[in-house]
Chains A and B, each alone.
Chain A
Amino acid sequence: MLTARNISYDYPDRQVLRGVSLSLAPGEVLAVLGQNGAGKSTLLRCLAGALKPTGQVVLDGRPLQSVPPGERARLLAFVPQHVPTRLPMTVFEAVLLGRRPYLSWRPRPQDLEAAWEALSLLGLEELAQREFSEISGGQRQKVALARALAQESRLLVMDEPTSSLDLRHQLEVMTLLCAQAEERDTGVILAVHDLNLAARYASRALLLCSGRVLAEGAPDEVLTEALIREAYGVDVLRVQTGAGAMLFPLSAVGGRA
Chain B
Amino acid sequence: MQVAADKTGVEAYGALTGRRAARILVLAALLAASAVVSLAVGSSSAGLRDTLRTGLDGVIFWELRVPRVLMGLLVGSGLAVGGAVTQAVLKNPLASPFTLGVASGAGFGAALGIVLAGAIAKWAVAGGAFGFALVTALFILGVARMKSATPETLVLAGVAIMFLFSAGTSLLQFLGTEQQIQAIVFWSFGNLSRASWTDILIAAGMILPALPLLFLRGWDLNLLLAGDEMAASLGVNVDRLRLAALLLAALMTAGAICFTGVIGFIGLVGPHLARMMVGGDHRFLLPASALSGALLVLVSDCLGRTLFAPHMIPIGIVTAFLGVPFFFALLIRRKREFW
B233 cross-chain contacts in A, Cβ below 8 A: 48-50, 73, 76-78, 80
A69 and B280 in contact, given A88-B225, A100-B219 (Cβ under 8 angstroms): no
CA distance A182 to B234 in the complex (A): 24
| B281 touching A93, Cβ below 8 Å | yes
Q: Is the interface of A mostly helix, strand, loop or mixed?
A: helix
CA distance A186 to B318 in the complex (A): 59
Q: Using an 8 Å CB-CB cutoff, how does the interface string of B220-235 with A read, 1 for contact, 0 for none?
A: 1011011101101111
| B219 touching A98, Cβ below 8 Å | no
A115 cross-chain contacts in B, Cβ below 8 A: 9
* Interface flag for B6 (CB, 8 Å): yes
Interface stretch, picked from A1-9, A31-39, A126-134, is A126-134
| A101 touching B235, Cβ below 8 Å | yes
Q: Using an 8 Å CB-CB cutoff, how does the interface string of A116-139 with B read, 1 for contact, 0 for none?
A: 110110000100110101100000
A82 and B227 in contact, given A112-B10, A125-B9 (Cβ under 8 angstroms): yes
| A50 touching B232, Cβ below 8 Å | yes
Q: Which interface class (under 10, 10 to 19, 20 to 34, 35 or more) fits B?
A: 35 or more
* Interface flag for B36 (CB, 8 Å): no
Question: Nearest-CB distance from B327 to chain A (Å)?
Answer: 17
A100 and B235 in contact, given A87-B280, A89-B280 (Cβ under 8 angstroms): yes
* Interface flag for A58 (CB, 8 Å): no
A73 and B234 in contact, given A86-B339, A88-B279, A105-B216 (Cβ under 8 angstroms): yes
B15 (CB) vs chain A CBs: closest residue: A129
* Interface flag for A103 (CB, 8 Å): yes
| B9 touching A116, Cβ below 8 Å | yes
Q: Point out the residue from A78, A89, A93, A105 that lies within 8 Å of B230, measured CB to CB.
A: A78
| A116 touching B229, Cβ below 8 Å | no
Q: Point out the residue from A71, A112, A117 that lies within 8 Å of B13, measured CB to CB.
A: A112
* Interface flag for A94 (CB, 8 Å): yes
B2 (CB) vs chain A CBs: closest residue: A120
| A80 touching B235, Cβ below 8 Å | no
| A87 touching B226, Cβ below 8 Å | yes
Question: Nearest-CB distance from A41 to chain B (Å)?
Answer: 10
B283 cross-chain contacts in A, Cβ below 8 A: 105
* Interface flag for A229 (CB, 8 Å): no
B225 (CB) vs chain A CBs: closest residue: A87
Q: Which interface class (under 10, 10 to 19, 20 to 34, 35 or more) fits A?
A: 35 or more
B88 (CB) vs chain A CBs: closest residue: A88
A70 and B6 in contact, given A88-B275, A94-B226, A100-B223 (Cβ under 8 angstroms): no
| B336 touching A103, Cβ below 8 Å | no
Q: Point out the residue from A83, A88, A105, A128 that lies within 8 Å of B218, measured CB to CB.
A: A105
A165 cross-chain contacts in B, Cβ below 8 A: none
Q: Point out the residue from A83, A86, A92, A94 that lies within 8 Å of B9, measured CB to CB.
A: A92
B232 (CB) vs chain A CBs: closest residue: A50
Question: Nearest-CB distance from B170 to chain A (Å)?
Answer: 38
A98 and B227 in contact, given A103-B219, A133-B337 (Cβ under 8 angstroms): no
| A80 touching B227, Cβ below 8 Å | yes
Q: Point out the residue from B216, B222, B229 that lies within 8 Å of A50, measured CB to CB.
A: B229
| B279 touching A89, Cβ below 8 Å | yes
| B226 touching A151, Cβ below 8 Å | no
CA distance A71 to B337 in the complex (A): 35
| A109 touching B226, Cβ below 8 Å | no
B229 cross-chain contacts in A, Cβ below 8 A: 45, 50, 78, 80, 82
CA distance A94 to B227 in the complex (A): 12
* Interface flag for B146 (CB, 8 Å): no
Q: Point out the residue from B6, B223, B275, B337 that lies within 8 Å of A113, measured CB to CB.
A: B6
* Interface flag for A16 (CB, 8 Å): no
Q: Using an 8 Å CB-CB cutoff, how does the interface string of B66-84 with A read, 1 for contact, 0 for none?
A: 0000000000000000000
A147 cross-chain contacts in B, Cβ below 8 A: 230
* Interface flag for A72 (CB, 8 Å): yes
A116 (CB) vs chain B CBs: closest residue: B9
A113 and B226 in contact, given A49-B233, A88-B279, A88-B339 (Cβ under 8 angstroms): no
* Interface flag for A97 (CB, 8 Å): yes
* Interface flag for B12 (CB, 8 Å): yes
* Interface flag for A84 (CB, 8 Å): yes
CA distance A78 to B6 in the complex (A): 25
Q: B residues engaging A (CB < 8 A)?
A: 2, 5-6, 8-10, 12-14, 16, 216, 218-220, 222-223, 225-227, 229-230, 232-237, 275, 279-281, 283, 336-339
- List 19 other contacts, CB 8 Å, given A50-B229, A70-B235, A97-B230: A69-B236, A78-B233, A80-B227, A87-B226, A88-B275, A89-B225, A89-B280, A93-B281, A100-B223, A101-B234, A101-B235, A105-B216, A113-B6, A116-B5, A120-B2, A120-B5, A120-B9, A125-B5, A131-B337
Q: Mind listing 13 A-B residue pairs with CB under 8 Å?
A: A49-B232, A69-B236, A78-B233, A84-B227, A96-B13, A97-B223, A97-B230, A97-B234, A100-B220, A103-B219, A112-B10, A113-B6, A125-B9
Pairs of residues from A and B, 5 with the lowest C-beta to C-beta distance, nearest first: A88-B280, A78-B233, A73-B235, A116-B9, A70-B235
